[in-house]
Structure 1
Amino acid sequence: MKAFIPTGDPAEPVVLADVAEPTPRANEALVRVEAFSVNRGETFKLEAPLPGDRPGKDVAGLVVQPAADGSGPTGIARVVGHPMAGGWAEFVAVPTDALAVLPDTLSAVQGAALPLAGITALRLLRAAGPVAGRRVLLTGASGGVGHYVTELAAAAGAEVTAVTRDAERGAGLLGLGAAEVVHDAADAHGPYDIVLESTGGRALPAALARLARGGTLIWFGQASRTPVTLDFFDFFSGPESAVIRHFHYLDPRGGLGDDLATLVRLTATGRLHPEIGRVADWAGTAAVLTDLRDRRIRGKAVLTLS
């Protein structure tokens, strides 16, 4: 079968190659991929790929071989899935607990835009706790996670201030329910009960300074790729007794299929709206990855297989 493999070359980060078709484990279904999405974080990993790396975590397609242990879809079914690797290919083996059935009302392109960003947003808000009536500051709001967090948090009753440098993107976030959009964390007017920080660099200290006493700052990324310098004496100038915690979307592990089913349901009922900035044939994957890395794509980028 055909699949994309990393090259280590920033100018052409992946090439299409012939690889062996996957042999599913007992708890895995074989999915014929119809569409997959790429994430900006994946572009960074392509800079120094490990031997044998096969990227790809967000897929939608058709189950052509159900799992041998009887779990998951028992027949041919349209699905969205979140394998840990290997999704940029004609076929991928996906654990059945990382699959959800895709209804006919949603396209493969819509489905492929959901997994990583959507699961991260759902679990990030669970980690933050109840948000109804609380003030939330979200940095790095221009990405896929920021889009989903804004819409989900606003729908749950939060007052969301989104930080994004992109004015057009900011207008879109206001349409999703953000109460305010600023272009720098230093311009936000606190205090905030919850800060969701994914930029790093100078954004984290600026966001911390706007956290309420006893509030919570959750760090879930470093999109700026700039290390953070933090002076803990800053806690005494406002956010006394505040909490800083790190978040990873796979902690705790498991339950991906349930979260995918939630995302599918919310999208199918018009309560969640994936922002898809580019759809292209998978022959153009290398160019799309470069554009995504260099911030020339707003929203999710989805590749389709002919």
Structure 2
Amino acid sequence: MKALIPTGDSAEPVVLADVPEPTPHANEVLVKVEAFSINRGETFKLESPTAGDRPGKDVAGLVVQPAADGSGPTGIVRVVGHPMAGGWAEYAAVPTDALAVLPDTVCAVRGAALPLAGLTALRLLRTAGTLLGRRVLLTGASGGVGHYVTELAAASGAEITAVTRDAERGARLTELGAAEIVHAVADARGPYDLVLESTGGAALPLALARLAKRGTLIWFGQASRTPATLDFFAFFDGPESGVIRHFHYLDADTRLGDDLAALVRLTAEGRLHPEIGRVGDWADTATVLTDLRERRIRGKAVLTLS
């Protein structure tokens, strides 16, 4: 079968190659991939690939071989899945606890845009707790996660201030429920009950300074790839007794498949709208990787298999 494999070359980070078709484990189904999405974090991992690396965590397609242990769907069923690797290929092995059935009303392109970004947003907000009536500051809001967080949090009653680089990238966030758009953390007017921070570097202490007393800052990314420096005494100037919490989307009590099913249901009901800034053929993956890395794509990038 054909699959995209890393090259280690920044100019052309992946190439199509012939590789063996995956042999699923007993608890995995074999999916004929129709579409997959790319996450910005995956572009960084391609800088220094190790031998045998096979990228790809977000896929949608048809189950063509059920799991040997009897778990998961049987028959030719449309699904969205979240394997830990190997999704940028014609076929992918996906654990049955990391997939959900797609109804006819959710196409493969929208389905493929759901897994990593949607799971991160859903679980991040679950970690944050009650949102009704709370003022929330969200950094890095124009990416895939940010659009999902904005829509889900606004629907839960939060007042969202979204930080995004420019007006064009922030326009859709207003439609999804953001109360205010600012283009730098320094422009945000606090205090905020909750800060969701994904940028790191200089943005983190600025965001912390806008946290309310006894508020919570959840740090879920470092898109700037720059270390952050915090001053303990700065807490006394504003967020006294504030909490800083690290978040990783895989640290959860619920199954990936259950949360994927929730995202699919919300999408099918018209309550969640995947923001897809680029759809293309997978032959153009190298170009899309560069554009995503350089922030030339708003929301998600989805590639289809011709």
Name whichever of 258-267 and 287-296 sits farther off: 287-296
Deviations 1:77-135 (A, max 9, x none): 00000000000000000000001000011110010000000000000001111111100
**Which letter does structure 2 place at the counterpart of 1:120?**
T
Instruction: Identify the residue that residue 270 of structure 1 maps to in structure 2.
Output: 270
**Distance in structure 2 (CA, Å) of the matches to 1:8 and 1:144:** 25
**Which letter does structure 2 place at the counterpart of 1:130?**
T
**Distance in structure 1 (CA, Å) of the matches to 2:180 and 2:296:** 24
Q: Does 1:92 align with 2:92?
A: yes
Deviations 1:176-230 (A, max 9, x none): 1111111111111111010000001111100100101111000000111111011
**Distance in structure 1 (CA, Å) of the matches to 2:283 and 2:130:** 43
**Which letter does structure 2 place at the counterpart of 1:186?**
A
**Distance in structure 2 (CA, Å) of the matches to 1:267 and 1:235:** 40
Instruction: Identify the residue that residue 181 of structure 1 maps to in structure 2.
Output: 181
**Which letter does structure 1 place at the counterpart of 2:83?**
P
Does the CA-based 8 Å contact 1:97-1:254 persist in structure 2? no
Does the CA-based 8 Å contact 2:123-2:252 persist in structure 1? no
Gap runs ≥5 in structure 2: none
Root-mean-square deviation (CA), in Å? 0.8
Where does structure 1 differ by over 4 angstroms across 4 or more consecutive aligned residues? none
**Distance in structure 2 (CA, Å) of the matches to 1:292 and 1:253:** 31
Q: Does 1:109 align with 2:113?
A: no
**Distance in structure 1 (CA, Å) of the matches to 2:21 and 2:69:** 20
Q: Does 1:131 align with 2:131?
A: yes
1:261-300 correspondence runs (5 A): 261-300=261-300
Name whichever of 53-62 and 220-229 sits farther off: 220-229
**Which letter does structure 2 place at the counterpart of 1:113?**
A
Q: Does 1:155 align with 2:159?
A: no
TM normalised by structure 1 equals 0.99
Does the CA-based 8 Å contact 1:161-1:178 persist in structure 2? yes
**Distance in structure 2 (CA, Å) of the matches to 1:3 and 1:195:** 39
**Distance in structure 2 (CA, Å) of the matches to 1:186 and 1:144:** 23
**Distance in structure 2 (CA, Å) of the matches to 1:241 and 1:90:** 51
Q: Does 1:70 align with 2:61?
A: no
Instruction: Identify the residue that residue 172 of structure 2 maps to in structure 1.
Output: 172
| Percent of pairs with identical residues | 84
**Distance in structure 1 (CA, Å) of the matches to 2:212 and 2:174:** 23
**Distance in structure 1 (CA, Å) of the matches to 2:140 and 2:278:** 20
**Distance in structure 2 (CA, Å) of the matches to 1:142 and 1:224:** 14
**Distance in structure 2 (CA, Å) of the matches to 1:151 and 1:104:** 23
Tell me the CA shift for residue 252 of structure 1. 2.5
**Which letter does structure 2 place at the counterpart of 1:251?**
D
**2:266 partner SS:** helix
**Distance in structure 2 (CA, Å) of the matches to 1:173 and 1:68:** 43
**Which letter does structure 2 place at the counterpart of 1:119?**
L
Instruction: Identify the residue that residue 227 of structure 1 maps to in structure 2.
Output: 227
**Which letter does structure 2 place at the counterpart of 1:96?**
T
**Distance in structure 1 (CA, Å) of the matches to 2:302 and 2:41:** 15
Does the CA-based 8 Å contact 1:280-1:303 persist in structure 2? yes
Q: Does 1:200 align with 2:200?
A: yes
**Which letter does structure 1 place at the counterpart of 2:19?**
V
**Distance in structure 2 (CA, Å) of the matches to 1:253 and 1:63:** 26
**Distance in structure 2 (CA, Å) of the matches to 1:295 and 1:183:** 14
**1:44 partner SS:** helix
